[in-house]
Homo-oligomer: A and B are copies of this chain.
């Protein structure tokens, strides 16, 4: 098979760099273009020396001819810039996987309430929310993917099967999520400084994070309008990983852990990247550097409350890995290609 040419627009942020890392090891694609405004003209492996000997390609400035240089494009850009650029790629018949929030919302109103005016509403209509294990059939036929946010991925994968099966009450969902520092991106900030982050654990954007409406829209779409969540993200002093602890009232006090686990096992049957944990608890270390989403469940019998847990690598399953998985599905490839590496046990 001829290799498929891929381009990464905004290659030098953390998600972009992770895309480069993964795609450089993907046997069926070739990276033909990397863009970066800040580093145009500089070899990518000068910016990320880990990539020396792995990739040898200069970053270039995005321009009108960029779209000609590949068949499929990943946009790892800030919100707003994505929706300005994406239509041009689509218009030229290119497939696009957008890692920003611009094409994640079915309802432009919700997007506009939490972000800004939407500039590509027509395209938004056809965009597919790229939560691979849930929307695989739509993804297969999509030409534009809104790649899910990191927190939504960690929250939706455990929640959706359980909520759809009406095992929990949709108005009682609380999501307590914790992310490594890379979630804040590569832009310089006091919060991301080593000395501010080390030995610091804290909540932020309490019940006001923009991933909250993203999660809610999908929950409501899949399980009805009553789904309503409280979402509180926290920052962990580590580079990678999201752990999500979800609380909800069970609909019936006869529901046991095994019902929950069987529900998850059944829903995700045959899906390589979902590991339902029967006798262990999801741990960010066990998924570090991989596309796995580990899911666990416990019941607090006394309070008739379910506790769902998940662990993902925010840069892989929560961003670049899921994006590549989306690409694989769109291209009719085995979804595991390029993503089948083992994690580091330490």
A195 touches B237 (CB 8 A): no
Decide if A54 is an interface residue (CB 8 Å cutoff): yes
B237 touches A50 (CB 8 A): no
One of A119-127, A134-142, A185-193 contacting the partner: A185-193
Q: How far is the CA of A55 from the CA of B280 in the complex (A)?
A: 17
A50-B344, A243-B234, A305-B174 known; A188-B186 Cβ under 8 A: no
A51 touches B342 (CB 8 A): yes
Decide if A292 is an interface residue (CB 8 Å cutoff): yes
B344 touches A203 (CB 8 A): no
A25 touches B340 (CB 8 A): yes
Which B residues lie within 8 Å of A197 (CB)?
A: 194
Best-surrounded residue of A202, A229, A292, A307 (most CB of chain B within 10 A): A202
Q: How far is the CA of A198 from the CA of B288 in the complex (A)?
A: 11
A311 touches B50 (CB 8 A): no
B305 touches A230 (CB 8 A): yes
Which B residues lie within 8 Å of A51 (CB)?
A: 342-343, 345
Decide if A110 is an interface residue (CB 8 Å cutoff): no
Which B residues lie within 8 Å of A24 (CB)?
A: 342
A192-B195, A245-B203 known; A302-B182 Cβ under 8 A: no
Residue of B nearest to A289 (CB): B344
Q: How far is the CA of A192 from the CA of B239 in the complex (A)?
A: 13
A199-B288, A207-B300, A245-B203 known; A346-B239 Cβ under 8 A: yes
Question: How does the 8 Å CB contact mask read for A66-100 relative to B, with 1 for contact and 0 for none?
Answer: 00000000000000000000000000000000000
Closest CB of chain B to A296's CB: distance in Å? 8
Best-surrounded residue of A189, A194, A200, A302 (most CB of chain B within 10 A): A194
Decide if A112 is an interface residue (CB 8 Å cutoff): no
* Total count of chain A residues near the partner, CB < 8 A: 90
Q: How far is the CA of A192 from the CA of B196 in the complex (A)?
A: 10
Which B residues lie within 8 Å of A307 (CB)?
A: 203, 206-207, 230, 232
Binding site for B on A (CB under 8 A): 14, 17-18, 20-21, 24-25, 46, 48-55, 171, 174, 176, 178, 180-182, 186, 188-190, 192-204, 206-207, 228-230, 232, 234, 236-241, 243, 245, 247, 272, 275, 277, 279-290, 292, 294, 298-300, 302-303, 305, 307, 309, 311, 315, 340-346
Would you list 27 pairs from A and B whose C-beta atoms are within 8 A, ordered by A residue? A21-B343, A50-B287, A50-B343, A51-B343, A55-B342, A176-B176, A180-B201, A181-B195, A182-B346, A194-B197, A194-B237, A198-B239, A200-B284, A201-B241, A201-B284, A201-B285, A203-B245, A203-B307, A206-B298, A207-B305, A228-B302, A228-B303, A230-B247, A230-B307, A232-B307, A234-B245, A289-B289
Closest A-B pairs by Cβ, 8 of them: A50-B343, A200-B285, A202-B283, A207-B300, A195-B346, A188-B188, A48-B345, A194-B197
